[in-house]
Amino acid sequence: MSDLTSFIAGLPKAELHVHHVGSASPRIVAELAARHEGSSPVPADPELLAKYFEFRDFAHFIEIYLSVVDLIRDAGDVRLLTYEIGRELSRQQVRYAELTITPFSSVRRGIPAPAFCEAIEDARAGARRDFGVDLAWCFDIPGEAGLPAAEETLRIALEERPDGLISFGLGGPEIGVPRAQFKPYFDQARAAGLHSVPHAGETTGPETIWDAIRSLGAERIGHGIAAAQDERLMAYLAEHQIPLEVCPTSNLRTRAVADLAGHPIATLAAAGVPLSVNSDDPPMFGTTLEQEYAVAAELLKLDAAGVAGLARAAVHHSFLPAGGKATLLAEIDTYTAAHAL
């Protein structure tokens, strides 16, 4: 293990773009697949599962992702998955994570919304107690399911309002799913005090990001790497301090970029665009948050101090209350002072 790798492994972190079902470890996916064997195409064998997670393109990724979503069939599955995500995050020294959750998918499968929210909240309490990880929720609209999904996601968010809920998002495919159509739902979510964090500019161009800002009031952008194609947009993001949630390996695995060497993170950083580094759907993409920090360090040519800067940026761009930010920033500073290379 190199000195920088070791430094990254111990560095206290926050993660802002990581999906609930997409964080299911192979162990948990295999367990769920075995539980529902015969009624799901997802293999229970870990070796076959690794092959199953080889994606041809973004559309194929969505297809596979939804097949794993289909394994979450009752409140017990929800609680197990959420709690185990807390365990995995803690192993990487993640102290705080904003988990993107799609309640519509589970409620449509027959899990009552109150039971779903009770399960994630119970897991949230368990993760804090047992692993020292604070979890928060972003309820996101699965864009491929259209306006009915938006309406139901908003209803669940506003009627159930679990304690950990802080933001409202939009995920799924971008192509053929215009951002502006979701404006009424984001307007209501924002009026209720939820932050706006839609995906945009991952597999489409800069205009999708402009739409997310203008129509959805985006405070952060999920992915947003297409901003590198528009100098005016990069200047706007920098001026208005609208951060991008960058997930390098995810962009490679879904073919949003041809190779990591061509990833635009360095262009974005050089333009002063605020950003954080995240893992998106780590087991599905064969990565971890630690690996994403290492990738970013190479692409941005960072030393340990620069990597610590990435960790601080994630905290600054989070929706943690001021006290929580101060505590985590102090922990990062203490660690960096003791371990800087």
CA 292 to chain centre: 13
pLDDT at 1: 55
pLDDT at 340: 67
Query: Per-residue pLDDT for the chain (341 aa), expressed as one digit of tens each?
Result: 589 999 999 999 999 999 998 888 878 888 888 888 778 888 888 788 878 888 788 788 888 888 888 888 899 999 999 999 999 999 999 999 999 999 999 999 899 999 999 999 999 999 999 999 999 999 999 999 999 999 999 999 999 999 999 999 999 999 999 999 999 999 999 999 999 999 999 999 999 999 999 999 999 999 999 999 999 999 999 999 999 999 999 999 888 999 999 999 999 999 999 999 999 999 888 899 999 999 999 999 999 999 999 999 999 999 999 999 999 999 999 999 999 66
CA angle centred on 40, ends 35 and 42, rounded to 5°: 85
Q: Which of 337, 336, 275 is nearest to 8 (CA)?
A: 336
Q: Strand locations in 72-112, DSSP E?
A: 94-101
Which structure tokens are listed for 56? 């041809």
Residue 286 identity: G
Do the beta carbons of residue 52 and residue 30 sit within 8 Å?
no
Q: How many CB atoms lie within 10 A of CB 86?
A: 25
pLDDT at 337: 95
Pick the CATH number of 3-339 from 3.10.450.50, 3.20.20.140, 3.30.379.10, 2.40.50.140: 3.20.20.140
Do the beta carbons of residue 244 and residue 227 sit within 8 Å?
yes
Instruction: Spot the catalytic one: 15, 202, 219, 290.
Output: 202
Which structure tokens are listed for 204? 């489409």
What pTM value is reported for the model?
A: 0.93
The helix or strand, by DSSP H or E, that contains position 208, with its residue range, turns out to be: helix 206-216
pLDDT at 62: 81
CA 90/CA 194 separation, integer angstroms? 26
Which residue shows structure tokens 């941005």? 300
Active site annotation includes 152: no
Do the beta carbons of residue 204 and residue 174 sit within 8 Å?
yes
CA 210/CA 100 separation, integer angstroms? 22
Residues 186, 188, 190, 192, CA torsion sign: negative
Q: DSSP labels for 252-280?
A: HHTTSSS-GGG-THHHHHHTT--EEE--B
